[in-house]
Structure 1
Amino acid sequence: MAAFKVAAIQMRSGTDPERNVADMERMVREAAGQGARYIQTPEMTGAMVRDAEARKAAFTTQDKDCVAAAAGRLAAELGVFLHVGSTAIRRADGKLANRALLYAPDGSLRASYDKIHMFDVDLDKGESWRESSAYEPGTEAVVTDLGEARLGFAICYDLRFPQLFRTEALAGADLLSVPAAFTRQTGEAHWHVLLRARAIENGAFVVAAAQGGVHEDGRETYGHSLIVDPWGRVLAEADHAEPGVIVAEIDAAQSAAARAKIPNLKNAREFTLETVTGPAPALRGAAS
């Protein structure tokens, strides 16, 4: 396998899918112009819409979705793998999926992935999210071949579930994707360390295209899109929350080398758990 360039597109998606598509197209062309063969956009590329009624108006089925149509056209025109990190897609049952779409250089849809883990959290400062109230979770991990590498899919909150990445690595993935819309609060605390951990523990490259800044719907995302190598080194970073493009060259042989040095994927063992109970230990207090 040969080395090739990958890119992460950092966006600040608003509530208008057509305008977001125009921004996506401009930056995808920039990335392709820098030689990227695999280009990833962030979670919710199509629109960031917090209001439930507005979501109903903004999102449609995959065959009618403007992001999907533009991505297939661009992939074919530029001869690249274009990975829409995710966009909201209305399923046949009427529910929404937070769905990643990967288009091949001939414009065909190579693979899709529905986000498995829903961001249902209560953070400090009154920040609360219930993704499951708007989206139906996926149930299948996905790995696909890019030729020079094998790609495993994830989206945003999936990052906190290492078993997903381990499953994909064991299936041969040496390039892991984490398109995201991390909140500023959680991003400042955990974004870098979690991405580097997923790379190190799986001996894989990680590409994480992010949303960044204050969005039209009022939310604030962290930005700081990253490309990390299998040893945990940051190859490229958007060190800010502004829209932009980062590019780095990767070589799947480096993943094989990292896994040869530390063969934890091979060395893992099955085990059982024993819970031991007993009398509470006596505690020695201060001398009286």
Structure 2
Amino acid sequence: MPRRIKVAAAQVGAVHRTTPRGDVLARLIKLVEQAAEQGVKLAVFPETTFTTFFPRYYIPDETELSTYFELETSSTGPITRGTNVKAFFDRARELGVDVQIGYGEDTGEGRYNTAVYVSGKTGEVLNKYRKVHLPGTTEPFDLDPTTTNQLEKRYFLPGNLGFNAFRAVSLKAEAGGSSPIVGQLICNDRRWAEGWRCYGLQGVEIMCCGYNTTAYAPKLWGGDQSITREKAYEEAMFHHKLVVQAHAYTNSMFCITSARSGVDDDLHPLIPGSMIVDPEGHIVAESTTEGDELVVAEIDLDECLQGKERTFNLGKHRRVEMYGRLVQEGGVSPPPEP
């Protein structure tokens, strides 16, 4: 049977530090409604979608900082019941659209950069992923309010749930009776080959990845002030597409990437680049603006088979006895000088 599913990357434009939560939620619900109108069964939203990307700011006030997180404990229940966001998940379920969306998770014992995949049929959380590769620093580069900081190491703990694939059972009928195998990454994770390969070894067919990627932050890049904004934007887009296309190809999977884009607070530019990439590494659909935009494509999961069974048949061609260094070394260990 055909394994065709219509999917979408739900790109979200500028969200300022003072943008009301209700305004953001209304925009996200509108994107879900647009997806349903076009027959989309899975919509992937960006990293920390419900708020601005707050790790760029130094926020010493715990009262303010806490507003960027969703409290998710045994007493509050899953994110789908959260007071600030419940309307979004309720609407997705009413429309029968699976969603993956990122947010700041507060467990009461620790905070994480998290994404969940939620069934459009039942409203159940099918999987949760916490960002593993946290970039940036613990301390701000400086306290200049115009500086784009990267303080994920200050605000989040490294993800501790691993790279675990799951079956999107909610899409079983649409996928010809065989539930798609799905993986999740968040932003910087897409630059690291290890996570992709972990998912490739589980037969993942659809990778979901939301991100916030700065288009200009010289202090993040070692203080190089010589790079122009135009060149920085070009390089950020190049590297974003490079890693997604390459890893989708080498692991024989589709990838849906969704950006938080635009210029936040008239200071912090983020690249767009929301796209759907096929298992041969080709971009089959991509965003054309820096604002709210739905990027839609119908994908055929059987297109994964060529790579999985031939070019990158992992069971047939891998030489695991040669790869010990990958887990034995935590950093670079050059050979000794003769």
3-state SS in 1 of match to 2:9: strand
Query: Any unmatched runs of 5+ in structure 1?
Result: 280-288
Q: How many aligned positions are there?
A: 276
Partner of 1:166: 197
2-structure distance, mates of 1:275, 1:217: 44
Query: Any unmatched runs of 5+ in structure 2?
Result: 142-146, 217-234, 326-332
TM-superposed deviation, 1:217: 8.0
Going from structure 1 to structure 2, the CA distance change for 1:265 and 1:128 (only over 3 Å counts) comes to: farther
Going from structure 1 to structure 2, the CA distance change for 1:69 and 1:180 (only over 3 Å counts) comes to: same
Q: Confirm or deny: 8 A CA contact 1:14 1:20 kept in the other structure.
A: no
3-state SS in 1 of match to 2:113: strand
3-state SS in 1 of match to 2:163: coil
Taking the TM superposition and a 5 Å limit, the aligned residue runs for 1:117-136 are: 117-120=133-136, 128-136=149-157
Specify the code of the residue in structure 2 equivalent to 1:72. Answer: F
TM-score normalised by L of structure 1: 0.87
Going from structure 1 to structure 2, the CA distance change for 1:70 and 1:99 (only over 3 Å counts) comes to: farther
For residues 80-107 of structure 1, what are the alpha-carbon distances to aligned partners after superposition, in whole Å with 9 as ceiling and x for unaligned?
A: 21111x11121121x3211101111211
3-state SS in 2 of match to 1:231: coil
1:141 to 131, 140, 163: 163
Going from structure 1 to structure 2, the CA distance change for 1:8 and 1:107 (only over 3 Å counts) comes to: same
2-structure distance, mates of 1:66, 1:180: 24
2-structure distance, mates of 1:58, 1:115: 16
TM-superposed deviation, 1:128: 4.2
TM-superposed deviation, 1:264: 4.7
Q: Confirm or deny: 8 A CA contact 2:32 2:97 kept in the other structure.
A: no
Partner of 2:8: 7
For residues 115-170 of structure 1, what are the alpha-carbon distances to aligned partners after superposition, in whole Å with 9 as ceiling and x for unaligned?
A: 111021699xx754121101112122231112332110100000111110110121
Partner of 1:33: 37
Partner of 2:208: 177
Asked if residue 76 in structure 1 is aligned to residue 83 in structure 2, the reply is no
Taking the TM superposition and a 5 Å limit, the aligned residue runs for 1:218-233 are: 218-233=267-282
Partner of 2:118: 103
Q: Confirm or deny: 8 A CA contact 2:48 2:104 kept in the other structure.
A: yes
TM-superposed deviation, 1:34: 0.7
Q: Which moved more, 1:207-216 or 1:59-68?
A: 59-68
1:197 to 243, 246, 259: 246
Specify the code of the residue in structure 1 equivalent to 2:44. Answer: Q
3-state SS in 2 of match to 1:176: strand
Q: Which moved more, 1:48-57 or 1:205-214?
A: 48-57
TM-superposed deviation, 1:173: 0.8
Asked if residue 61 in structure 1 is aligned to residue 76 in structure 2, the reply is no
Going from structure 1 to structure 2, the CA distance change for 1:212 and 1:35 (only over 3 Å counts) comes to: same
Alignment RMSD (CA, Å): 2.4
3-state SS in 2 of match to 1:203: coil
3-state SS in 1 of match to 2:306: helix
TM-superposed deviation, 1:276: 5.1
TM-superposed deviation, 1:68: 4.3
